Structure 1
Amino acid sequence: MTSDNLRTFKPEKLFAPRDFSQLTIRQPQYLEIGAGRGKHALMFAQDNPDKHLIAIERTRNKFNDFAEKAEQLSLGNLMAVHADAIPWVVHALEPKSLAGVFLLYPNPEPKNPSQRWLNMPFFEFLLSRMQDNAKLVLATNIESYIEEAEQLAREQWQLGPNVFEVDKSSQRTHFEVKYLARGETCWQMDIIKPEGYQTRFDEWIKE
């Protein structure tokens, strides 16, 4: 259910991240990519003890800060992961294993638009890891980014996005707090994966 004008993602080419170990998926399972210092991840885990969150951060200093806070709180439903998200997702997650995905204030990649999440072939693979009716949440303070993401969701991925302004009182991430405090508008796009949505990776599992 995707357009054919995007190059095909090749998960078999990716090596496992350093020190990778296979995890036991718990349900309902959520994924946050680019967790930063963990503000949203920690709040989500505390507010949703019945849900399990995997929160991935690639930058070492941000991850160390996040991991230290997570250890102090001893949250059994939060897994902090220091890795590049793409190979980690390929090696760790099975098809339809995620109840939700968070992409909160990702790098807008102004010099390399092909690296924006909905522009990447990997996005199809990420969709294959989501369950039917699972929700993907994307937030940004850049209007052109959310406009492009909405267009790609509709035209490239054949999905029905819902875009709206983030409430001024929201404090999910350090970026969000900063942007809203200085009077900027932040946007959110929610995508629900429809029942019966198909990708080329629905049966693909890393061997």
Structure 2
Amino acid sequence: MMNPTKERVFKPEKLFAPRNFKAPKLKSTQFLEIGAGKGMHAMKFAEANPQKHLIAVERTRAKFDVFASRAKDLSLENLSAVHADAIPWVVHGFPPKSLDGVFLLYPNPEPKNASQRWLNMPFFEFLLSRMKPKATLVLATNIKEYVDEAEVLARKDWALNVKRIEVSKDSARTHFEVKYLARGEVCYQLNLEKPAGYQTRFDDWFA
């Protein structure tokens, strides 16, 4: 179980559903990507994994419009592009233990506000509650300090199974990843697995 002494507790009941929200029709094998950008990873993942359904959420209108246009051209039935703020969308879109995996690829490192980094946010506990036992959250970044902090939090505060790797030099999942690797930077990845029997305070909470 995650650390019960964490002071800030997420309050999902305070969040309204996004405008024009429609609850998704979830599949038996369901994945989520938060911060999908222009959809490069989302489309590659969907093409490579036709039996896995991915809901990819992007908040920025300009990036989402590019993503949605490209996704429409590909006509991938296992990919849903969503323009929304991910936190309320996740609260209203997913029941407990419904996700087989989550992708957080090159999130904003929030250099001036560490409390807004994903593993520092109370929402992270809620996100874990939406994941199935043994599901994996993939976090990638090019910032060593970010991955160092996230690894410590994942182990100490969230009690997750952690595997840390360096991203292959020929990887090309996102536009950011392509740019960073082309500059010769090291990119890091954490695979955070939710242990069997893991408990959160939101395991029985439904929108």
Instruction: Show the counterpart of 2:162.
Output: 161
Residue 72 of structure 2 corresponds to residue 71 of structure 1: yes
Matches within 5 A, 1:13-24: 13-24=14-25
Instruction: Show the counterpart of 1:186.
Output: 187
Offset of residue 6 of structure 1: 3.4
Offset of residue 2 of structure 1: 1.8
Instruction: Show the counterpart of 1:95.
Output: 96
Residue 176 of structure 2 corresponds to residue 175 of structure 1: yes
Name the count of aligned residue pairs.
206
Distance in 2 between the 1:123 and 1:57 partners?
18
Q: Aligned to 1:161, what secondary structure does the other structure show?
A: strand
2:119 maps to a residue whose letter is: L
Q: Aligned to 2:20, what secondary structure does the other structure show?
A: coil
Offset of residue 160 of structure 1: 2.3
Which deviations, in whole Å up to 9, do the C-alpha atoms of 1:64-84 show, x marking residues without a partner?
000000000000000000000
Distance in 2 between the 1:159 and 1:152 partners?
9
Instruction: Show the counterpart of 2:2.
Output: 2
Q: Aligned to 1:137, what secondary structure does the other structure show?
A: strand
Offset of residue 177 of structure 1: 0.0
Offset of residue 164 of structure 1: 1.1
Q: TM-score under structure 1 normalisation?
A: 0.98
Q: TM-score under structure 2 normalisation?
A: 0.98
Q: Aligned to 2:100, what secondary structure does the other structure show?
A: strand
Q: RMSD of aligned C-alpha atoms?
A: 0.6
Which deviations, in whole Å up to 9, do the C-alpha atoms of 1:104-152 show, x marking residues without a partner?
0000000010000000000000000000111100000000000000000
Distance in 2 between the 1:189 and 1:42 partners?
21
Distance in 2 between the 1:41 and 1:27 partners?
18
The unaligned stretches of length 5 or more in structure 1 are none
Q: Aligned to 1:169, what secondary structure does the other structure show?
A: coil
Matches within 5 A, 1:90-169: 90-169=91-170
Offset of residue 18 of structure 1: 1.1
Distance in 1 between the 2:111 and 2:2 partners?
25
Distance in 1 between the 2:59 and 2:120 partners?
20
Q: Aligned to 1:200, what secondary structure does the other structure show?
A: coil
> Runs ≥4 in structure 1, deviation > 2 angstroms?
none
Distance in 2 between the 1:106 and 1:113 partners?
13
